[in-house]
Amino acid sequence: MTRGAILFAFNSEKFNYYNMAEQTAKRINHFLDLPVTLVTDQKSFKETSYSWDNVIKVVPDKDNFRDWGQWINKGRYQAFELTPYDETILLDVDYMVNSNKLLKTFETYNDFCCHNKTTFLMHPNAPQEALSSYSYDTLWATVVTFKKTKRSQQIFESLEMVQKNFEHYANIHSFISVSYRNDYALTLALRIANGHTILPGDFIPWNLVHVGKDTTVIKNNQDELNTEYTVLFDNWKRGKIRKEYMTIKDMDFHLINKDCIEGVFGE
Amino acid sequence: MDTKTLLAESKARFNHNAAKDYLAEKYQNKLVVAEQNGLWKADAETISLLNSLTKSKVVLIDTFSNPVKVDRKELLKTLRTVYNEVMEEWYEEWQELEGKR
């Protein structure tokens, strides 16, 4: 039974996702001891001293935009076909691996799992995100662990269907479809594949830790595999900002706030 | 600019409560154990229950709400070990945190 991780990285005008993927891959190699396959395009790929387990070049669908510019995040459903491993961790490249915690997903799942609950650093009481007031709580495509089973295949095929009909599902579930989001597509795809039910075993039994708005993360030293960070938070009170901070170590987190990328990846 | 200078110049204050929450989040997660076809939390409640039962094979409800028949002593041994290790780590980092008051 082979195990590995797969990353998708397509550079945009604003962010060098390839560089982020390379740093994340080194962390996966070190903390999880897993090989890493990269899915990228010809334009983003560059030869460096880092040795990928596999590099798969595809032609990405670039038709997606966010407030900060082009966001090439479509095609994640291809992970099932492209992964060379029997068991795979599909990770966003802005997920900071600082521990071996993700290895536990291989022990706790049946054949597919993702996060269904989140915590925001410095925002302990932040509500869970929902597709809309009338729909489901969001599942997160940031970390997905899956086996090559028939059911996983159905989930990824559903993901493809939702991506290709995103506007239709946005109308049904009352969310804005201007930007395609894998999180929303996964939320719907998993329910579709499960016959519109929830299977508790499909969820990772701990929270996905986000770095959200008004929060900045800075690495405490320049080591490539640094695991200690200072978290700075702008706490707005009565129209004034009070700066607060704490330090964290050996804890995985996901950078929702893209302004943090420089402080963490040095981009 | 290094982190210490940045913190000093921005007059940032250490948020003790947020740090406490972060520790809880980090170490509660480490208490999760997959064993004997079930998913368990090595917490005081589960360990106490296992301790108070007497049969060698017992049925417990795991964190996925499934009933699972387990070897009581084996599971108790694992959960105790995990509990002790995680609590020691938690305490150590908590002590470091207390020093930052």
**A120 and A30, same domain (yes or no):** yes
**A156 and A251, same domain (yes or no):** no
Distances (CA, A) of A203 to A141, A200, A237, B11: 11, 6, 36, 40
Report helix angle A182-193 to A150-164, nearest 10.
Answer: 130
The predicted model scores a pTM of: 0.93
Whether A53 and A35 have beta carbons less than 8 Å apart is answered as: yes
**A157 and A201, same domain (yes or no):** yes
Task: Please state, in angstroms and rounded to a whole number, the distance separating the CA atoms of residues A123 and A126.
Answer: 6
CB within 8 Å: B10 and A220 = no
Mean pLDDT of A231-252: 90
Q: Which residues of A touch B26 (CB under 8 A)?
A: 248, 250-251
Give the minimum alpha-carbon distance from B90 to chain A in angstroms, rounded to a whole number: 12
Whether A40 and A12 have beta carbons less than 8 Å apart is answered as: no
CB within 8 Å: A200 and B65 = yes
Q: Does A113 touch chain B (CB under 8 A)?
A: no
Mean pLDDT of A228-253: 91
Whether the pLDDT of residue A48 is over 80: the answer is yes
Question: What pLDDT score does A68 carry?
Answer: 75
Whether the pLDDT of residue A24 is over 90: the answer is yes
Mean pLDDT of A211-217: 88
| Counted domains in chain A | 2
User: CATH number for the domain including A136?
Assistant: 3.90.550.10
Q: Among A62-71, A79-88, A174-183, name the most confident range.
A: A79-88
CA B55 to chain CA mean position, Å = 27
Whether the pLDDT of residue A267 is over 60: the answer is no
Question: What pLDDT score does A194 carry?
Answer: 96
Which of the pair, A61 or A144, is modelled with greater confidence? A144
The fraction of chain A above a pLDDT of 90, given in percent, is 77
Question: What pLDDT score does A116 carry?
Answer: 97
Of the candidates A261, A220, A215, the one whose C-alpha atom is nearest the C-alpha of residue A241 is A215
**A254 and A158, same domain (yes or no):** no
**Number of H-type helices and E-type strands within chain A:** 7, 15
**A158 and A247, same domain (yes or no):** no
At B4, the pLDDT band (50, 70, 90 cuts) reads confident
Q: Does A122 touch chain B (CB under 8 A)?
A: yes
**A202 and A138, same domain (yes or no):** yes
What is the average pLDDT score of chain A?
93
**A220 and A205, same domain (yes or no):** no
Whether A36 and A53 have beta carbons less than 8 Å apart is answered as: yes
Range of the domain at A202: 3-209
Of the candidates A15, A50, A46, the one whose C-alpha atom is nearest the C-alpha of residue A30 is A50
Q: Which residues of B touch A263 (CB under 8 A)?
A: none
Q: Which residues of B touch A201 (CB under 8 A)?
A: 64
Q: What is the DSSP letter of A93?
A: T
**A41 and A108, same domain (yes or no):** yes
**A7 and A100, same domain (yes or no):** yes
For A146, the 3-state DSSP assignment is strand
Question: What pLDDT score does B1 carry?
Answer: 66
CB within 8 Å: A201 and B64 = yes
List pLDDT tens digits, range A122-177.
887 889 999 999 899 999 999 999 999 999 999 999 999 999 999 999 999 999 88
List pLDDT tens digits, range A27-43.
999 999 999 999 999 99
Task: Please state, in angstroms and rounded to a whole number, the distance separating the CA atoms of residues A225 and A232.
Answer: 21
Contacting A residues, span 184-213, partner chain B, CB-CB under 8 Å? 200-201, 205-207, 209
CB within 8 Å: A244 and B12 = yes
Q: Up-side HSE of residue B91: CA atoms within 13 Å toward CB?
A: 6
**A123 and A134, same domain (yes or no):** yes
Mean pLDDT of B22-28: 94
Task: Please state, in angstroms and rounded to a whole number, the distance separating the CA atoms of residues A155 and B19.
Answer: 37
Task: Please state, in angstroms and rounded to a whole number, the distance separating the CA atoms of residues B16 and B24.
Answer: 12
Whether the pLDDT of residue B101 is over 70: the answer is no
For A248, the 3-state DSSP assignment is strand
Q: Is A177 exposed, middle or buried (0-12, 13-18, 19+ CB in 10 A)?
A: middle
A19: which residues sit within 8 A by CB, 6+ positions away? Answer: A265, A267
Mean pLDDT of B6-33: 89
Question: What pLDDT score does A94 carry?
Answer: 94
Whether the pLDDT of residue B83 is over 90: the answer is yes
Task: Please state, in angstroms and rounded to a whole number, the distance separating the CA atoms of residues B31 and B40.
Answer: 8
Q: Which residues of B touch A244 (CB under 8 A)?
A: 12-15, 18
Task: Please state, in angstroms and rounded to a whole number, the distance separating the CA atoms of residues B97 and B99.
Answer: 5
List pLDDT tens digits, range A78-120.
999 999 999 999 999 999 999 999 999 999 999 999 999 999 9
